[in-house]
Chain A
Amino acid sequence: MMDLFSFKRFFAVILKEFIQMRRDRMTFAMMAGIPVMQLLLFGYAINSNPKNLPAAVVSADHGTFSRSIIAAMQNSEYFRFSYKVDSAEEAEQLMKEGELQFVVHIPPDFSRQLIRGERPQLLLEADASDPAAVSYAVSAFSSLASTALNRDLKGTLSDLRQNEAPFEPVIHRKFNPEINTQANTVPALMGVILTMTMVFITALAITREKERGTMENLLATPLKPTEVMAGKIVPYIAIGIVQVTLVLLLAEFLFKLHVNGSILLLYFVSIFFIATNLSVGITFSSLAKNQLQAVQMSVFFFLPSIILSGFMFPFRGMPEWAQAIGSVLPLTHYLVIIRGIMLKGNGFAEIQSHFTAILIFFAAVLVLGILRYRRTLD
């Protein structure tokens, strides 16, 4: 009896698998597409030593020294002074909105005190809600204090180059003074969890009806596409709200993270974010031929969402093209909003632009989904 393993039977299975693989073009494309996408995103988009972070100067002293310091910071490549701000309030507002990572405050008497050797303070405010994003830049700022002014301190002033740095760099880590990584991760996880569960659940919703044959029945009834889509979205919004509540409770009791802003606003924005992800899922569902394809499409959406949104790696540290793709994705904006509300105590005014971005994405996907849902079997 040598019938333990027949190579003929074994080969029959292999052959059949290859034939089926070839027929399912989408799976085939995904098998090539997902590794390529991962490689490109991880290889090029990610930068764990983020540079060119947006910064602004609030200057009450327009002397040579100020200019030299700013130039030195810019040359360090960690700071990019892309915003002209007129007041400390404006700078603070921009930082709350997540547009600015750093604000340099130059006090009124800076040059005079420096010449007198009084070692004036130079304040760098950093948005520390993402500690990883600012840590390199902050240490670059500290080390640059002793060398930034070397060229300006000539002649009688050269004494100032002797001992300590001619000014004292002071760093103020806003929104997360204890540099607590959890403060950054936990609110963001809320967005990641919602993206993952909501897109996957609904991606299967219509494909399941197609696979089980119940779709034909639904199509033969007076049900309209909008009714089916809305009917499949609403129950999961409730599930999403439960998830948000769960994360908030765990954040409060396990990680001692309080919501500094309005909880109501947080829920309000979350509902739209949940609905956006659900409509992405539904649209995948109407495009996919079977449940496997729907899952693959979801992965195709989920992967860049995680990598390019600023969840795993600092958003501002990514190259421009990656930021451009990232700013289309709803998770990117939700992360800014949720971190803003929880850590910075942001109100609606500060999150408005990001909220609008989510709404635009939502509307676009919804229209696509409704157009794609066919009322007939043609």
Chain B
Amino acid sequence: MSELVIDVTGIVKKFSGRTVVDRLSLKVRRGEIFGFLGPNGSGKTTFIRMLCGLLTPDAGEGKCLGYNILKDQNIIRRHAGYMTQKFSFYEDLTVRENLDFIARIYDVPDRKKSIIETMEKLNFSSRANQLAGSLSGGWKQRLALAACLLHKPELLLLDEPTAGVDPKARREFWDEVHKLASEENMTVLITTHYMDEAERCTRLAYIAYGKLLAEGTLAEVISSSGLYTWSVSAPQKELPAMIRKLQADKAVLQAAPFGNTLHVSGTDKSATENAIKTVCAGVQELSVEEIESGLEDVFIHLMDKGKDNFQ
């Protein structure tokens, strides 16, 4: 199974002269849960909107679900499910009425039955007649997911689906996404800011300033960054001064406090180790240990690097 569901190259989008997506190429295979990461305003939403025909790219070409993204936007709309960043269903309709509206638009066969099935699948049955506006954030997001699933899309485009949702609801949401990918062979492209969520994706891409900076599995992204990280624990009163000194050192790319420890990262292994040794000299109750770089360390590194390239 290596059929490409998304296969686009050189996608460019400009808004009044500002390049928001810059020659982006991406390949996503069927059944993947593809995490799309990047800082705010990096072009993630714009890219997703171009995939489902809401925006027209200024340059580039490619296929989504085998259809030309420039010409076959109507067919793509029929086979993809897009969940917007902001809740975009009718707050003055009930859960069932919202689902019914969407089901009719997509001309879902056996409408009544599939609405009931979808509601059962997402545990909505007891809330069927509740107004969408009165649902909590987590339930609103489940309703949006339910509405996206009604027409049995082959591709789900989820734009920050878990922003502002509590950890338990997020966990359940992700369980659902994994079930869809494994049981129904659905392909999922999901944008997020949460690192724990990024770790649940089968593959990742990181974009900043409209450019693709890294791509691959979690391990690939981390190892390709060439970033080494140490955990330094020291008495709390020593930490601010240590951070200041570390950040002044060119070899140290990041020095950030995590509770009572510091995470110090750099790409030049020996230079960074030396910097840590210099700074730690004379500090009591010290322990330094090399750890595996976290995704967050890698992404912050990528972001800084991206900015350098951009400016």
Contacts and interface: CB of A to CB of B under 8 A. Distances in A.
Given A213-B84, A213-B88, A216-B84, A222 B56 contact: no
B87 A220 contact: no
Summarize B's interface: helix, strand, loop or mixed.
loop
Nearest to A374: B54
B105 A221 contact: yes
B106 A217 contact: no
Contact of A376 (B56, B78, B89, B105): B56
A220 B49 CA distance: 9
A214 B105 contact: no
Contacts, number: 47
A201 to B, nearest CB: 15
B105 A220 contact: no
Contacts of B56: 376, 378
A36 interface: no
A217 B55 contact: no
B22 to A, nearest CB: 18
Interface string B45-57: 0000100111110
B173 interface: no
Given A221-B77, A222-B74, A213 B86 contact: yes
Nearest to B46: A377
Interface in A330-373: none
Given A216-B54, A376-B55, A378-B55, A222 B87 contact: no
Given A376-B53, A377-B54, A378-B55, A220 B77 contact: yes
A217 B53 contact: no
Interface string B30-67: 00000000000000000001001111100000000000
Contacts of B105: 221-223
Interface in B214-232: none
Interface in B74-100: 74, 77-78, 82, 84, 86-91
Nearest to A223: B105
Contacts of A376: 53-56
B102 interface: yes
B150 to A, nearest CB: 11
Nearest to B159: A216
A242 interface: no
Nearest to A224: B74
B54 A214 contact: no
A216 B86 CA distance: 9
Contacts of B86: 213, 216
Contacts of B73: 375
A216 B74 CA distance: 15
Contacts of B54: 216, 219-220, 376-377
A214 B88 contact: yes
Contacts of B78: 222
A293 B87 CA distance: 24
Contacts of A213: 84, 86-88
Q: Which of A212, A213, A220, A375 neighbours the largest number of chain B CB atoms within 10 Å of its CB?
A: A220
A221 B77 CA distance: 6
A98 to B, nearest CB: 44
A378 B58 CA distance: 10
A217 B88 contact: yes
B106 A222 contact: yes
A66 B215 CA distance: 98
B13 to A, nearest CB: 9
A78 B95 CA distance: 66
Contacts of A217: 82, 84, 88-89
A213 B144 CA distance: 13
A375 B73 CA distance: 10
Contacts of A223: 105
A375 B53 CA distance: 9
Contacts of B90: 212, 214
A222 B74 CA distance: 6
A207 to B, nearest CB: 15
A220 B82 contact: yes
A144 B173 CA distance: 89
A378 B87 CA distance: 20
A377 B55 contact: yes
Contacts of B49: 377
B142 to A, nearest CB: 16
Given A213-B87, A222-B74, 4 more contacts: A220-B54, A221-B77, A221-B102, A222-B106
8 contacts: A212-B88, A213-B84, A213-B86, A216-B54, A220-B82, A221-B102, A222-B74, A376-B54
